[in-house]
Amino acid sequence: MPGTGFKEMLTVANAVIETVSVPDAMYLLEEDDVYFVDIRETVEREETGTIAGAIHAPRGFLEFIADPEGPMHLPEFASGKRLVLFCASGGRSTLAAKTLVDMGFADVAHLAGGFAAWTAANGPVERA
C-alpha cells in the first residue's frame, strides 16, 4: 500500500494531541470555557443524540467550519475556548483534533472512546 495508513496517522496524531477521559470530560461539561464538538455525521446524531450542549461540525466539513475565512465558519471556533472533539468511538476525533492543531488551534482535545464511551458512562445526552 503506498503512502501512510490510518494506523500510522493515528499514532502520529496521538503523539501531539490531548486525550480527555470520560470522567474528566464530565467535569468539563460544567465549564464555561469549553465547547464539545460532535464531528459525527448528521445521521449519526439523529439516530443516537449527542452530548448535551455540543456543537456540530461534521468531520467532512471541519476545516471549512473551523477557519474564520471558511464559508461554513462557526463562531465557537474563533472563541478561544477549549474544544473537545468526539466521534462515535474516538478514531475520527483523534484525526480531527490533529487537523485543528495543524491549523493553529492551541487548546484542542478529543474524547477517549467517543460517544460510545460517553453513553456507557451515562453522560448527559440530548436529541439532535
- What gap in Å lies between CA 19 and CA 16, rounded to an integer? 10
Give the pLDDT confidence score for residue 1 in this predicted structure. 53
Beta-bridge partner residues of 20: 111
User: Is domain 17-126 in CATH 3.30.70.1560, yes or no?
Assistant: no
The strand ranges marked E within the chain are: 18-20, 34-38, 50-51, 55-56, 82-86, 108-111, 125-126
Domain ranges of the chain: 17-126
Q: Find the angle CA(126)-CA(51)-CA(19) to the nearest 5 degrees.
A: 175
DSSP structural state of residue 23? H
pLDDT tens-place string over residues 20-64: 999 999 999 999 999 999 999 999 999 999 999 999 999 999 999
pLDDT at 2 over 80: no
